[in-house]
Amino acid sequence: MAQGFINIEEMTGIYIVCSDKSLLENINRMFKRRGMIGVTDTAGRVRYIVDGRESKWAAMKSISTFLNLAGFKEINMIDGKTNDAIYNEVIGRVLNKYGFEPAHIGTKAVFILIKQMIINNVDSRNITVKEFYNIVGDRLQLTYGQTERDVRYAIKNSAAYERGVKSITLVKKLADEVRVILDRMVDAGEL
């Protein structure tokens, strides 16, 4: 596995609210990120609340995005490694190749973006930059602005940087490079 890159695990947010106003502020902030929130009751059942205040089309888009990006993934084992571990290793190698700083939060954000594109077979034309950055922000507990700035900084300080090219375009190029490596591994029978 590439040195310095960690497997980003799903994170749980715990919010303590002491007033109705604080509760509403937290819910509104979460709605602004993804357009929906999940609430777990004491029996462990998850209920999803979709923000329909903007329009029914925005609500449908939130549901569609959630279903496409948060779906179940099959775990396959190859030589004792899960596909997830192989993805982490290949993504880490590509990021190392371009000199990304492993300890930088922006590099972790780029790592997650690439992994989401690969695992969920997401084409960047089918999802907005805001949706991508909100996924990362949720995982790393960052705002959209912080995520955007950290990704931009990590890319600018790497060999992948191209003046005048948008950060998400460069992330897509990195994801395409990872896909090529994974395809070669499939062709060679390694995956």
CA–CA gap between residue 55 and residue 58 (Å, rounded) = 5
Task: Note whether residue 39 is domain-resident.
Answer: no
Compute the mean pLDDT over every residue in the chain, rounded to the nearest whole number. 77
Task: Note whether residue 4 is domain-resident.
Answer: no
Task: Note whether residue 140 is domain-resident.
Answer: yes
Task: Note whether residue 175 is domain-resident.
Answer: yes
CA–CA gap between residue 118 and residue 120 (Å, rounded) = 6
Task: Note whether residue 152 is domain-resident.
Answer: yes
Report the CATH number that the domain containing residue 121 is assigned in CATH. 1.10.10
Its domain, for residue 95, covers 77-187
Region at 139 (left for phi over 0; alpha for psi -120 to 50; beta for the rest): alpha
For residue 144, the model assigns a pLDDT of 85
CA–CA gap between residue 142 and residue 184 (Å, rounded) = 35
CA–CA gap between residue 4 and residue 127 (Å, rounded) = 29
User: Of 119, 55, 109, 113, which Cα lies nearest the Cα of 84?
Assistant: 119
pLDDT in tens, 157-190: 998 888 888 888 888 899 999 989 988 888 887 7
Tokens at 68, concatenated: 């496409």
Tokens at 127, concatenated: 């999802």
- Round the CA-based radius of gyration of the chain to a whole number and report it: 18
CA–CA gap between residue 92 and residue 97 (Å, rounded) = 9
Task: Note whether residue 102 is domain-resident.
Answer: yes
CA–CA gap between residue 45 and residue 31 (Å, rounded) = 20
pLDDT in tens, 37-54: 877 777 777 788 888 887
Report DSSP state, residue 43.
T
pLDDT in tens, 140-158: 888 888 888 999 999 999 9
Task: Note whether residue 55 is domain-resident.
Answer: no
The residue with greater pLDDT, 157 or 127, is: 157
List the Cα angle 32/109/26 in 5-degree steps. Answer: 25
The residue with greater pLDDT, 59 or 146, is: 146
Count how many domains the chain has.
1
pLDDT-derived band at 74, boundaries 50, 70, 90: very low
Q: What is the mean pLDDT of residues 19-32?
A: 83
Task: Note whether residue 122 is domain-resident.
Answer: yes
CA–CA gap between residue 150 and residue 165 (Å, rounded) = 16
